Amino acid sequence: MQANAPIRVLHVIGGTGCGGSESWLVNLLKQCDRLQLPMDFLVHSHEPGHYDEVLKDCGANLLRCVSPRSPWRYAKTFRSLLRQHGPYQVVHSHVSFFSGLTLKLAHHAGVPMRVAHSHHVTTHHPGKRRPVLRGVYESSMQQWIARHATHRIAASRAAQITLNSSPNQGVPWQTIHCGIDLTPFQQSVDRQAVRRELRIPDSAFVVGHTGRFVQVKNHSHLLDTMEKLIRRDPTYVLVLIGDGELRPQIEAKVSQLAIKQQVRFVGVRSDVARLLGSVDTFVFPSHHEGLGLALVEAQAAGLPCIASSSVPEEATVVPKLITRLPLAAGPAAWAEAIAEIRKRPMTVPRQAAYQQVAASNFNIATNFAQLKEFYERGRLHEDTPETDFAPSMELLST
């Protein structure tokens, strides 16, 4: 490959929903010059996604390679898409354990730079047995990643562990934090106008949360915490930004706890920075996180934050804004921590908090420059294609 030729990158993602890694990739795409760093996206779904039109408007090709549960069909489609839309100098895979297969296929196709990217932390609950086939699948994919990835990166140090079969196998892991677009956080927010829009009284103390309605985000704990606060002071209000499969269950629990008047479900929004401008504190009780970009956004908005001890410490950018609590402390302790924040004055001016985040690696402009340099360093990697592709149907069953 010529040294001055564009580096063509194919990102492999599950879909184009509004999760943290998908939002990060969209923000990266908006930063790049397509003539210098063309990025395309291969997804595992026929369903329309939240970011489909944004990707297309930015000039990216959206390639659909479904049937990940049928490895032979998937492999045939994958190879066909690479021939049709390539050549790509980089296949950058974001699909957790399944990256073992995508990178093996990319190796077989002669793609010189193959990146395994771990965004999540996978935990197994003590006393709960992992299905045997699942364990074999994960172990096999970890070994394929070790063999076929030319580069391995993770969103945090904790996220490295998920896809790492052995510290001594394969190329070393490195951490590259995902970034956020800070432009919306530069704009002033009409706090009262947002509160009127959400039907929130001026006198309310607003607790905010951003996250998909999935088990790991632990909305149930947050509702139990709010119920204890509201029982003693009904001026507390909770704003939930996001959507997901568990939303009906969370709405049902809100009704069960009799706090419906104090909870606002605002759905997926493109104006998260504006909404956070109307919030008084941000609460993030996740069971675990690969990184926790929502917590970084809250700090960019200058909000005091309460986060679970399971959220990586790397997500702390403005330490004076962060309170850490173990989930085992229980909703009562979390409620007390929120009440204490309400009593004390702001410790960090909003502009100062924003400047700290802007000066960090979480600034998407800085983050993009890091990733571009990462691709450029790897572009001269020479490799030979594999010819022994023979995936096992049992191993690839998920």
Q: Which residue has the higher pLDDT, 69 or 247?
A: 247
C-alpha gyration radius of the chain:
22
Q: What are 291-347's pLDDT values in tens digits? A: 999 999 999 999 999 999 999 999 999 999 999 999 999 999 999 999 999 999 888
pLDDT band at 386 (very low <50, low <70, confident <90, very high): low
Q: What are 250-299's pLDDT values in tens digits? A: 999 999 999 999 999 999 999 999 999 999 999 999 999 999 999 999 99
The pLDDT assigned to 166 comes to 64
Q: Does the pLDDT of residue 95 top 90, yes or no?
A: yes
Q: Which residue bears the tokens 């704003």? A: 239
Q: Does the pLDDT of residue 381 top 70, yes or no?
A: no
Look up the pTM and report it: 0.88
Q: Does the pLDDT of residue 384 top 80, yes or no?
A: no
The pLDDT assigned to 390 comes to 46
Instruction: Cite the beta strand spans of 82-235 per DSSP E.
Output: 90-93, 113-118, 151-154, 173-175, 205-210
- Ramachandran quadrant class, 290 (left: phi over 0; alpha: psi -120 to 50; beta: rest): alpha
pLDDT band at 20 (very low <50, low <70, confident <90, very high): confident
The pLDDT assigned to 36 comes to 81
The mean per-residue pLDDT over the stretch 391-398 comes to 42
pLDDT band at 201 (very low <50, low <70, confident <90, very high): very high
The mean per-residue pLDDT over the stretch 145-174 comes to 86
The mean per-residue pLDDT over the stretch 65-69 comes to 87
Q: Which residue bears the tokens 């930004």? A: 241
The mean per-residue pLDDT over the stretch 377-396 comes to 55
The pLDDT assigned to 394 comes to 41
Cα separation, 382 vs 335, whole angstroms: 56
Cα separation, 278 vs 388, whole angstroms: 57
Cα separation, 236 vs 244, whole angstroms: 24
Cα separation, 160 vs 314, whole angstroms: 13
The pLDDT assigned to 3 comes to 58
Share of the chain above pLDDT 70, in %: 91
**Stretch (H or E) spanning 41:** strand 39-43
The pLDDT assigned to 133 comes to 86
pLDDT band at 380 (very low <50, low <70, confident <90, very high): low
Instruction: Please work out, in degrees rounded to the nearest 5, the angle formed at the alpha carbon of residue 59 by the alpha carbons of 54 and 61.
Output: 90
Q: Which residue bears the tokens 């297969």? A: 101
pLDDT band at 388 (very low <50, low <70, confident <90, very high): very low
Cβ–Cβ under 8 Å, residues 347 and 320: yes
Residues whose CB falls within 8 Å of the CB of residue 153, separated by 6 or more in sequence, listed in order: 115, 116, 117, 118, 173, 174, 175, 176, 374
The mean per-residue pLDDT over the stretch 50-62 comes to 94
The mean per-residue pLDDT over the stretch 355-374 comes to 95
Q: Does the pLDDT of residue 98 top 90, yes or no?
A: yes
Cβ–Cβ under 8 Å, residues 137 and 397: yes
